[in-house]
Chains A and B, each alone.
Chain A
Amino acid sequence: MTASWRTGESLENRPSVSDRSSTPEARRRADRARRLRRGLPGLGLVAPAAIVYGVFVLSPLVATIQYSFYDWNGITPGTWTGLDNYARLFTDKELFGSIVNAFQLILYFSVVPVTFGLIAAALIRKFGASRLAMVSRTVLFLPQVIPLVAAGIMWTWLMARDGAVNQFLRLIGLGGVTRSWLGDFNTALPAVGVIGAWVSLGLCMLLLLAGMTKIDPALFEAARLDGAGAIREFTAVTLPAVRQELGVAITITVISALRSFDIIYISTQGGPGNSTLVPGLEIYYLAFFQRAIGQASALAVALTIVVLAVVLPLNRLARGKEDS
């Protein structure tokens, strides 16, 4: 890759024989000057993006790491506390609990939508260009278009005491299980998870569908000729072919689970009784209500590390075999 984008430029700049000076010293100097000339326009093109990246991504990142070693209220000078803020992440039940909740959310934000997305994509591919496939694709993708805040508000209404979910349950004779889903200690986290799953399903489906349409139809035909049924065809042809897309879908959804904030802020604000508290929300409370900027930063750094520790191996797993 690195070589290919350079070729065009290199052809124009290829040194002619007459250019070459006799002494090695002069040649080195000419080489360096040429490299610089060649590099300048490139640097110029990269600079705007690099500056924006540095100012809005790197510098806050570094500042967050710096703050995490201080006890600081955000205004007056902070005091150096070393690793105390990090130690508290493991000893404070509430802080640690938020991280545990985030891992539970992976089940709802990632496993569920990826699984159902895979099934939906396989079915839609089967129906091909029929109207049913078009409609279901649009319907499943729609949640991605709706702002998360709107989705959160809509679902809190649906899951309220007299919301549509409970009305439906009463209709089919399950009045006994109705409850205020977001206000019950046992169901609040799964209920929040359902909102997340509903939002991510469309994206997973679309990603996987895109992967599936790339598969050579001849492969399916060959599989069928070899006597494979629908299931066998799915596991032997479809699944291996979309491994890359699967990797992307899992990565995106796992990240969204671990750093979730908006849906939970809108629907439960971490309640009832911290049962849906996640690191993103805890960081917000620590920084803006408890004014513990240092502790909030430490949790933010820890969250970043956790996300990387989970996502990098996943990425390697999805890419692994093809690279070798």
Chain B
Amino acid sequence: MSFIPTNRHAPGARRPAAVALGVAGLLALAACSPPGTTVDKATDTTAAATAAAAGGAPTCGSDPITLEAYVETGFPVFNDLAAEFSKQFPNVTFNTREDQFAVITANAPRVLVDSPPDLMRLPQVSELAKLGLLYNLDTYATAFGWDKWPSSQLEQMRVNADGQRGDGPLYAMGINFSMTGVFYNKELAAKIGMTEAPKTLDELDGYLAAAKAAGITPMAQFNGGATGGLAFPLQALMASYGSPSDINSWIYQKAGATIDTPENLAAAQHLDKWIKAGYFAEDINSMDYSQMMSRFIGGESLFIFDGDWESGNLDKQMAGKAGFFLMPPLKEGGQLGAMSAPLTYGISAKAKNPGCAAFFLNWVATNDTARTIDIQVGGSHPMGPSDAFMPAIDANSVTGQTLAAGAVVGQNNGSMDFIANATGAIYAKSWTPNLQKMFAGEQTPEGLLAAVQADYKAEIGG
């Protein structure tokens, strides 16, 4: 044991020294340069880009080219489109990485900077555009003539310098655009004497009451976890009571816009009336989206508020038994509204092949085969000019009904973005908990709107 004395630093004496060193290190680090980097844009030097700069539309050229894609898993439409594209343009291959949408949302800024994809499924674009992470598509829009399409198709993907959506440069494109409304089970509807879609909100209320009285669950609308599905009927009611364009102003973060308006309050009170009347399944606060779908398909719910991305699925699983209608207005023939949003894809500001990626996006909207895939696989309406090719679809199928409804909404100027897309966290952190509280009777319609407006201001102000 002769060596113990040579160990001059007794453990007790070493500790303060280590702590002091650690604290000094921390202070030094905390005082050093702030975290983060500025984003440099890559310059596309390919022939395609040069063509675009000269006013011509870019192409994918004839040299072998690999497009890096980052897309949402579980939705085959992108991969089907990519496969068809590679068949038509054999020099183009896709290197596709897939993730769940929540993962894409969480990773979006880092992925766009660190491993810039040529094509990426995007969450809400305003923040990403404001950070300068997305490729400005304006040159391509002019070259391909996207600016001549119905402007409402691209509106949600335009972001101005203040991060407000609705106008400004184009930062993303859609693969197609989806639309929401009310799906109903035709067999259950027949039991309560509902033979056609309700034309007014009063009629819908009547059917809800009749279903409840007949022992049928009127609505099993998912509202559990971090995804408050009551936002679907709430926004539908908002469109019945108010105007879709006011709601859009709020979602686009226009100056002075508020969600706390008399019309929206009336809508929230109407929803509260449905809750109090027991029109929703009693366990919706723990029901997720897939449970809602399985109950609806299994005949355990008369209505659900959902989108046309399920059309193809319902045509397969409930062939002939499912119907679709747009949320009815207060008075017959009044303003119709529907949430409608493009299935957004963007190009990273640092992407290697933006020209070829833009050519692909244009091809999706204009090629006949691509448009057919869009509808048959994606279930939703393709982007593009209003007189573009449409494949023949059975008008009685759910897909046929949703496409027809989409045309009505288009003529009616009733399309609006989803209130959950106003800011990055407004859905998970504000709408969802407050709607869950309202369902449990712990939040009032007034409190709901005031709370969401406060969170909204806190987020866009800070």
Total interface residues on A, CB under 8 Å, equals 50
Across-interface contacts of A56 in B (CB, < 8 A) = none
- B42 at interface by CB-CB < 8 Å: no
The CA of A89 and the CA of B226, in the complex, are separated in Å by: 22
Across-interface contacts of B287 in A (CB, < 8 A) = 180, 183
Contact B35 A289 (CB under 8 A): no
In the assembled complex, the CB of B130 is this many whole angstroms from the nearest CB of chain A, namely 9
- B203 at interface by CB-CB < 8 Å: no
In the assembled complex, the CB of B326 is this many whole angstroms from the nearest CB of chain A, namely 29
Kindly identify which residue among A69, A79, A159, A290 contacts B30, using a CB–CB cutoff of 8 Å. Answer: A69
In the assembled complex, the CB of A274 is this many whole angstroms from the nearest CB of chain B, namely 5
Given the known A-B contacts A7-B1, A272-B437, A273-B433, are A66 and B425 also in contact in the complex, defined by CB atoms under 8 Å?
no
Contact B282 A180 (CB under 8 A): yes
In the assembled complex, the CB of A131 is this many whole angstroms from the nearest CB of chain B, namely 40
In the assembled complex, the CB of B430 is this many whole angstroms from the nearest CB of chain A, namely 10
Across-interface contacts of A75 in B (CB, < 8 A) = 36-37, 39, 109-110, 113, 131, 133
Given the known A-B contacts A75-B36, A271-B432, A290-B459, are A180 and B285 also in contact in the complex, defined by CB atoms under 8 Å?
yes
15 example contacts (A-B, Cβ-Cβ < 8 A) are as follows: A10-B1, A10-B3, A66-B30, A69-B30, A75-B36, A78-B35, A159-B286, A161-B283, A161-B286, A180-B286, A269-B225, A271-B225, A272-B224, A272-B436, A288-B106
Kindly identify which residue among A72, A94, A268, A289 contacts B224, using a CB–CB cutoff of 8 Å. Answer: A268
Kindly identify which residue among A14, A62, A181 contacts B26, using a CB–CB cutoff of 8 Å. Answer: A62
The CA of A67 and the CA of B26, in the complex, are separated in Å by: 11
**SS class of chain B's interface: helix, strand, loop or mixed?**
loop
- B13 at interface by CB-CB < 8 Å: no
Across-interface contacts of A73 in B (CB, < 8 A) = 36, 109, 127, 131
Return the CB mask of B116-145 against A: 1 if under 8 Å, else 0. 000000000001000101000000000000
- A184 at interface by CB-CB < 8 Å: yes
- A112 at interface by CB-CB < 8 Å: no
Contact A271 B433 (CB under 8 A): yes
Across-interface contacts of B459 in A (CB, < 8 A) = 290
Kindly identify which residue among A7, A70, A80, A271 contacts B226, using a CB–CB cutoff of 8 Å. Answer: A271
In the assembled complex, the CB of B101 is this many whole angstroms from the nearest CB of chain A, namely 12
Contact B283 A291 (CB under 8 A): no
The CA of A160 and the CA of B282, in the complex, are separated in Å by: 11
Return the CB mask of B96-117 against A: 1 if under 8 Å, else 0. 0000000001110110010000
Across-interface contacts of B2 in A (CB, < 8 A) = 10, 14
In the assembled complex, the CB of A80 is this many whole angstroms from the nearest CB of chain B, namely 6
Kindly identify which residue among A10, A71, A180, A293 contacts B283, using a CB–CB cutoff of 8 Å. Answer: A180
Question: Which residue of chain B has the shortest Cβ distance to A185 in the bound complex?
Answer: B440
Return the CB mask of A290-304 against B: 1 if under 8 Å, else 0. 110100000000000
Given the known A-B contacts A75-B131, A183-B284, A272-B436, are A2 and B38 also in contact in the complex, defined by CB atoms under 8 Å?
no
Kindly identify which residue among B26, B109, B226 contacts A270, using a CB–CB cutoff of 8 Å. Answer: B226
Residues 170-213 (chain B) with a chain A CB within 8 angstroms: none
Across-interface contacts of A79 in B (CB, < 8 A) = 34
- A74 at interface by CB-CB < 8 Å: yes
In the assembled complex, the CB of A71 is this many whole angstroms from the nearest CB of chain B, namely 8
- A42 at interface by CB-CB < 8 Å: no
The CA of A293 and the CA of B424, in the complex, are separated in Å by: 14
Question: Which residue of chain A has the shortest Cβ distance to B435 in the bound complex?
Answer: A273
Contact A74 B429 (CB under 8 A): no
Across-interface contacts of A272 in B (CB, < 8 A) = 223-224, 285-286, 433, 436-437, 439-440
Given the known A-B contacts A65-B26, A272-B224, A291-B424, are A285 and B429 also in contact in the complex, defined by CB atoms under 8 Å?
yes
Return the CB mask of B1-33 against A: 1 if under 8 Å, else 0. 111101100010000000000000110011010
Across-interface contacts of A227 in B (CB, < 8 A) = none
Given the known A-B contacts A183-B224, A269-B225, A272-B436, are A160 and B127 also in contact in the complex, defined by CB atoms under 8 Å?
no
Given the known A-B contacts A184-B440, A288-B105, are A80 and B25 also in contact in the complex, defined by CB atoms under 8 Å?
no
Contact A185 B442 (CB under 8 A): yes
Across-interface contacts of B281 in A (CB, < 8 A) = 161
The CA of A87 and the CA of B286, in the complex, are separated in Å by: 33
Contact B133 A66 (CB under 8 A): no
The CA of A94 and the CA of B429, in the complex, are separated in Å by: 10
The CA of A182 and the CA of B224, in the complex, are separated in Å by: 9
Across-interface contacts of A29 in B (CB, < 8 A) = none
- B348 at interface by CB-CB < 8 Å: no
Contact B424 A290 (CB under 8 A): yes
Across-interface contacts of B30 in A (CB, < 8 A) = 65-66, 69
In the assembled complex, the CB of A13 is this many whole angstroms from the nearest CB of chain B, namely 8
- B443 at interface by CB-CB < 8 Å: yes
Question: Which residue of chain A has the shortest Cβ distance to B281 in the bound complex?
Answer: A161
- B434 at interface by CB-CB < 8 Å: yes
- A176 at interface by CB-CB < 8 Å: no
Across-interface contacts of A44 in B (CB, < 8 A) = none
Residues 415-462 (chain B) with a chain A CB within 8 angstroms: 424-425, 428-429, 432-434, 436-437, 439-440, 442-443, 459, 462
